[in-house]
Amino acid sequence: MNKSFLVIIFIAIVSFSIASTSVAQEAHKANSATDTELVSETSTHNVAHELPNPLMVIPFVILLIMIATGPILYPHFWEHQYPKVSVLLGSIVVYYYWFILHNTLSLLHTAAEYFSFIALLASLFYASGGIMIKVDRKATPFLNVAILLFGAIIANLIGTTGASMLLIRPFIKINQDRIKPYLIVFFIFIVSNIGGALTPIGDPPLFLGFLRGIDFFWFIEHIWYIWLPTIALILIIFYIFDSRNKEYKEGREYSGKIEFKGSKNLIYLAIILLAVFIDPNVMSWVPNLQPSPIGIREIIQFGVVILAIKTSDEKILKYNEFDAEPIREVAFLFIGIFATMIPALQLISHEANVLGDKLTVGMFFWSTGLLSGVLDNAPTYLNFLSAALGKFGLDVNTAADVKEFMNIDYIFLQAISVAAVFFGAMTYIGNGPNFMVKSIVERAGIEMPSFFAYVYRYSLPILIPVFILVWLVFYF
């Protein structure tokens, strides 16, 4: 694991070097560009750049295909070589942007997003790994529903990542005598995604909206009546699934006790969550470290990683079967995902803004949602939020315009917010915690459905009908 973080820090240094040597040159180009076809950058800088060649989406497609097929068709190669494959495909796009387009600001912005992403996941992963929750009760459909509902609620307080990392191990332990893939899939649906739709803490897309000027409590005020029936419906479907699982270990007695250990790691969780708000856009006194891709927030969260590694109770880690491989896998794969999706996101951003006036609320819902399932849902959210504001002549990077947009017609903002969070559950890569949960479960010896099997066995037959109902009731 130490090698993984050395690689990550090395990339940070390279990114800083890129930014330091070329940010002034890029700013000059952005100011003088007049005759080139331009596309609005999905960043706080909102800098215009030449559109990438559509062929540059190929590395992203190849990476997705290999993530989907590698564990099935060539598992030995994939298990040992996925870091090299991910970095190589990402390097193709980095080379194109750096040396062909001379667009280093896009690389810098993506590096900043990646480090924000991995700092949060890694810190929550290590902090929660030192917490033991032991529930000595018989696994029943009702108990499982209660756990999933509890996870959905606390996802809005500690984020979908925090809730997932905190609850996935005890959820596995409770159901160890009857564990099946559907249990984990529904956990991803509810705790890792849909549950976190009520606050900016819940899911990264909503936090980006908060940074742009959306009121903190706007989401719970305008989404709770969509969130509640959606969660209820999926829990009912889960209850039907779980009621058919009759595999129990005979003769086992349960004390009914709930045991909790590792309370100091709760302090680490609190520090991580407080660090989320240590952002120059939220608190004016926070120093802006640009052009560095790592800010004060990420420094604090990486610091918690080191602290948790050194101080977590070894007995708790052993009970949790804690292993660093899941965060290593996520760290390497998402280097490739973040890098290769740059041209895809910019092309989508261009089309969304061109078609903004023609897009209805329903179109925003489905386009934001379906793309959030295969792309990182945070930048996808920003792209379509920008397009929606553009319909009314407003700018996503101006807080006053965002607040005006909230008052003009909240339904566009609601549809985009709901879709970005809900549809993140469609694939393993739709949201960061999804892949983390999958990796933790597989390290525990539980076989999970492949990328495609997850989609056609669970997402399509379960989630899509639910999302169609949401669309028909609220956005048709």
pLDDT, position 13: 41
Three-state DSSP at 49 gives strand
Among 189, 211, 191, CA closest to 202: 191
pLDDT, position 359: 77
Contact 70, 78 (CB under 8 A): yes
pLDDT, position 250: 67
Alpha-carbon span 119 to 168, nearest angstrom: 20
Residues whose CB falls within 8 Å of the CB of residue 358, separated by 6 or more in sequence, listed in order: none
Contact 165, 268 (CB under 8 A): no
Enter the tokens of residue 301: 């969260």
Three-state DSSP at 17 gives helix
Q: ∠89-90-91 over CA atoms, to 5°?
A: 90
Q: Which pTM does this prediction carry?
A: 0.83
pLDDT, position 170: 92
Locus of tokens 């792209």: 383
In this prediction, residue 407 has a pLDDT band, given cuts at 50, 70 and 90, of: confident
Give per-residue pLDDT as tens, 233-243.
Answer: 999 999 999 99
Give per-residue pLDDT as tens, 318-335.
Answer: 988 888 888 999 899 999
Alpha-carbon span 60 to 378, nearest angstrom: 17
pLDDT, position 36: 36
Among 110, 27, 41, 31, CA closest to 350: 41
Average model confidence (pLDDT) across the chain: 85
Three-state DSSP at 233 gives helix
Contact 22, 104 (CB under 8 A): yes
Alpha-carbon span 376 to 373, nearest angstrom: 8
Give per-residue pLDDT as tens, 278-328.
Answer: 988 778 888 888 888 889 999 999 999 999 999 999 999 998 888 888 899
Give per-residue pLDDT as tens, 93-108.
Answer: 999 999 999 999 889 9
In this prediction, residue 16 has a pLDDT band, given cuts at 50, 70 and 90, of: very low
- What are residue 133's phi and psi, to 5 degrees? -120, 115
In this prediction, residue 231 has a pLDDT band, given cuts at 50, 70 and 90, of: very high
Mean pLDDT value across residues 138-166: 93
Contact 22, 32 (CB under 8 A): no
Locus of tokens 């009914």: 256
Alpha-carbon span 17 to 12, nearest angstrom: 9
Residue type, 33: A
- What are residue 412's phi and psi, to 5 degrees? -65, -50
Cβ atoms < 10 Å from Cβ of 108: 24
The DSSP H or E segment spanning 415 is helix 410-422
Give per-residue pLDDT as tens, 433-445.
Answer: 998 999 999 988 8
In this prediction, residue 29 has a pLDDT band, given cuts at 50, 70 and 90, of: very low
- What are residue 245's phi and psi, to 5 degrees? -90, 100
Mean pLDDT value across residues 55-80: 91
Question: Of the spans 16-30, 47-61, 413-427, which averages the highest pLDDT?
Answer: 413-427
Among 282, 379, 359, CA closest to 41: 379
pLDDT, position 49: 62
In this prediction, residue 398 has a pLDDT band, given cuts at 50, 70 and 90, of: confident
Alpha helices by DSSP H, listed for 244-376, are 264-276, 296-311, 314-319, 325-354, 361-374
Does the structure show a pLDDT above 70 at 406? yes
Domain ranges of the chain: 2-339
pLDDT, position 41: 39
Alpha-carbon span 185 to 238, nearest angstrom: 10
Mean pLDDT value across residues 108-121: 88
* Burial status of residue 165 (CB atoms within 10 A of its CB: 0-12, 13-18, 19 or more): buried
pLDDT, position 47: 43
Alpha-carbon span 72 to 343, nearest angstrom: 28
Alpha-carbon span 465 to 474, nearest angstrom: 14
Three-state DSSP at 40 gives strand
The DSSP H or E segment spanning 421 is helix 410-422
| Cα 438 from chain centroid (whole Å) | 14
Does the structure show a pLDDT above 90 at 470? yes
Does the structure show a pLDDT above 60 at 204? yes
Contact 186, 437 (CB under 8 A): no
pLDDT, position 3: 53
| Cα 144 from chain centroid (whole Å) | 24
Does the structure show a pLDDT above 80 at 374? yes
pLDDT, position 358: 77
